[in-house]
Structure 1
Amino acid sequence: MKNTLKAQLRTLRPLPFVLLLAAGIINSVGVTMFLAPVHLYDSGISGTSMLLWQITPEAYTLSLFLLILNVPLFLFGLKKQGIVFTIYSLWAVFVYSAASYVITNILPVDVSTASPFAGQDLLLCALFGGLISGIGSGMTIRFGGAIDGIEVMAVIFAKMLGLTVGTFVMIYNVLLYIAIGILFRSWVLPLYSIVTYCAAIKAVDFIVEGLDKAKSAMIVTSKADAISEALSEAFGRGITHIGAKGYYSGADQTIIYFVVNRFQIAKLKALVTEVDPAAFITISEVSDVLGRSVQK
């Protein structure tokens, strides 16, 4: 056990800590300079911390609630998530908490009643607050951690409840926004907070997956060599052949597995249909690509 722990700790690198430092600061800017001044709410534990901050005495700060709620959750999920993920996440949460305290209590900027950038415009605050905090959250995920304990809760409890992780997170946020609406007897802020949530999700997807999102193509054809040659010349990437057989025809076929980005799909289809108009093509999302497969 000790040897395994030491091996995991040796995988820690300085660069992720620097990048997570930037991620925590960015996240805090989105929350404290756009959302909190106009009483809009982030999602997950961050949104819960903002709500508790709003309804408790001034001595209880946003930074305090971020630490109190997040740290136990990450420690609780240590066994399932691993020590490296937990250390990166705790660092990101600490930076987020510290930066939030600096912005709200130390910097000479007034964030008590309006955003320094968008005033009291709820739509602008919702959109830009969601985008900026989403960029921070996405950077945290991309560099090996998480900045909100709701993800740990989802991994631990979703399966027990027969839910997917995404469904668990969505249900938590819906209940949070309903509670806000009931507590303040107004649905304007919860509705704008949903806009914030949607903007943040898009920003997270963009940061984690990138604009150049990968797609996998599976091509069923009897002219595998000719198609593979055309694809190899056009894209310079490795190609995988999988043997197959038609159920009704009984004819031998080959499945070509090939990964491209979204901008290359049209070119791929044109090349394939030019060589074999009868080829059967499916295109699927690829959540991540590891390794390198490039023609020498």
Structure 2
Amino acid sequence: MNDLQQLIERHQYTGRVGTAFIYSICVSIALNFFWNPGHIYSSGITGAAQLVHTLSTRYLGVDLGIGELLFLLNIPLFILAWIKISHRFTIFTIIAVGMSTVMIRVLHPVTLTTDPIICAIFGGAVNGFGTGLALRYGISTGGLDILGIVIRRATGRKMGTINMTFNAFIIVAAGFVFGWPYAFYSAIGIFVNARVMDMVYTRQQRMQVMIITDRPKTVVDSVQHHIRRGITIVHGAEGAYKHNKKSILFTVISGYEVGELQEAINESDPNSFVSLSNIVRILGNFYEPRL
């Protein structure tokens, strides 16, 4: 059993390293192919690294690499993640940021277009996909992702919303450095980045589940075998068509667990009625798997 558990963990670790590599390619493409040619600033620490790079090149005559700056600016946040989140999460975050540093340097810039709107939209979409994918599989891309996770655990706010709040200074900086039209273009890129990230990273989405079934014990056992969630059972319901006795099950899951819920329902009672609705806010305990 221990050998099997170790094999599963090694497979998961390999998958996370692969995801970190995919993210590093995404952020490199976004930066070198879109943001830099279009004079667009990214969100978070990547945007801060771009800003430091621009100011040091323009006013000090020192060309500090964006990738290297990205890693250096993330060091305090690595420490925060080590203390507040988990050691394993921090190690994979360092791997993801380290790979990004290398890929930004290795992947040579290609100017596909200098149109700022196109660069803002496509750069934000590519980076948002990579960031959301990384978060979905339990690793962080550093920077505001770490702050976002810490704050989300305390407030329940979504990752994209938190990122946009912290990124106001990036937009202002873009206005001062490149002109105010580019501040608006950067705002578009940051917005696209946040929306795509929220679509891909479904772990922070909360959904209320209502299951109407005549096999409540079988369904409960199956759901709890697949998902670690509490379930409330309401007995004594009645179908209006055939007046069959039913039970109603209530639970709350994350968007990341919808597939596992569907698998559990198909195994236990494929004829049951299942309704899912988005939740704005949860008060009380809601279990989140360790990252």
Query: 1-side partners of 2:97 and 2:197: how far apart?
Result: 17
- CA deviation string 1:270-293 (max 9, x = no partner): x869xxxxxxx77235999999xx
Distance 1:22 1:120, change over 3 A: same
Matched, 1:193 2:201: no
The equivalent of 1:71 in structure 2 is: 75
The equivalent of 1:243 in structure 2 is: 234
Q: Which amino acid counterpart does residue 96 of structure 2 have in structure 1?
A: A
- CA deviation string 1:223-279 (max 9, x = no partner): x539x8xxx9xxxx8596612699xxxxx9953337867xx9xxxxxx869xxxxxx
Cα drift, residue 76 of structure 1: 3.1
Structure 2 residue matching 1:120: 3-state secondary structure: coil
The equivalent of 2:90 in structure 1 is: 86
Cα drift, residue 95 of structure 1: 0.8
Q: Which amino acid counterpart does residue 234 of structure 2 have in structure 1?
A: G
Identity %: 22
The equivalent of 1:102 in structure 2 is: 106
Q: Which amino acid counterpart does residue 181 of structure 2 have in structure 1?
A: V
The equivalent of 1:116 in structure 2 is: 111
Larger-gyration structure (1/2): 1
Equivalent pairs counted in the alignment come to: 239
Distance 1:148 1:188, change over 3 A: farther
Cα drift, residue 85 of structure 1: 0.5
For structure 1, the 5+ residue unaligned runs are 1-6, 247-251, 265-270, 274-280, 292-296
The equivalent of 1:249 in structure 2 is: none
- CA deviation string 1:126-160 (max 9, x = no partner): 11111111121112212221113113234557899
Q: Which amino acid counterpart does residue 225 of structure 1 have in structure 2?
A: D
- Say whether the 8 Å CA contact 2:70–2:101 is kept in structure 1: yes
- Say whether the 8 Å CA contact 2:85–2:150 is kept in structure 1: no
- Say whether the 8 Å CA contact 2:207–2:276 is kept in structure 1: no
Query: 1-side partners of 2:214 and 2:63: how far apart?
Result: 71
What RMSD in Å do the two structures reach over aligned CA positions?
4.2
Structure 1 residue matching 2:127: 3-state secondary structure: helix
Query: 1-side partners of 2:18 and 2:247: how far apart?
Result: 47
Structure 2 residue matching 1:76: 3-state secondary structure: helix
Structure 1 residue matching 2:42: 3-state secondary structure: coil
Bigger proportion of residues as helix? 2
The equivalent of 1:3 in structure 2 is: none
For structure 2, the 5+ residue unaligned runs are 1-5, 225-230, 238-244, 263-271
TM-score normalized by structure 2?
Answer: 0.66
